[in-house]
Chains A and B, each alone.
Chain A
């Protein structure tokens, strides 16, 4: 019963985070803070699914780490790309 309550609550949290993202998309002012918020929301949603839906929280450390790192790296890239677009563009010209 405890596990059922936890899974139900996490699903509800994921839904709320998604609706918050939609609100930001429609009403939020584009800018640094909204980008950081979206990156954090993505990291949180990814971590919930990896840890609790995929049940990697108590699984083998290699699998757990690989999947968790994914949801640190992508949100970090979102922020880095927002902060330093010109520098990255300069470094990636053929």
Chain B
């Protein structure tokens, strides 16, 4: 290069090139802070709106209807009666967000250790299956132990499922992306078979022998509903379990030795090893904790409002299911607890607001739900392009601080 001085001070771009995934993401975090996710979301909504506009619908009206569909108009007319549509829609949005908090945390924790857990879907399904099995059997127990056993069992199962990928990575170097994708499909097909006709977990109710659905869990295993009616998917205390999980995530990452080691490995495994940290142990540990979050999510959903699950639900979730949306949530939330919370609220609202919640004359749910997918894709695409963000961010700073020339040439951007 023409400027030898440049090598002495490493530019953000150079750091971005050489660092691990966690280092790169953290870099994006420092550059721009909260502004970047917000700009990303706005940009994604704009592009999504353009698609709507180009196909002859009014995007502003469409977004307003989606806003109402997510139950957010409740804010303007608060009521505790779930007879009101807005209140009902809001509970459904929060239920959806609860799931996304868990799968988002699962992705975020692995990211912090420099790994990409693309297998949240599989770990979530494993959690669902185990929670259903424990919930259906062991009936006759009192409520608290039954719920606890189901939750702990599902959490451990999720941890074990993700742990396979962690162990493979630590012992043989198998890339976690491929192994978690494979574990996803293994979980999906296994669950399809378990719940399917003739499968071990299929319902035993009379006349249902060809219905590929599991049995309902016992009443003792159901979580208490706090807002809404129990039979109509009221909001259960799972939402607060999710909030607790966010706090646990924050404390684990920021306030414990475990979190410090995980982050150190994420930033630079070689430096961490040099500092005396057992890299392999941390890879396995991070992956297992990551899976535990997703498995817990499966348990909370099963005990909270699903009560049973079917082969078809499993098959449908294979396409852009909650595990994958967790990736968007974690990336948008910068892998922090607060960010994951906000991200899951956004996507929870979008998902429910564009599907069941939506009643609109402007855009029908079948169309709108695909706009959600497009927005998710755009968010992930833009967040992944940290260099673009850095470039925009730096040029803004350059404009502000150094109005005259002498700005270092960013030739490579």
| A, B from the same assembly | no
- On B, residues with C-beta under 8 Å from A are none
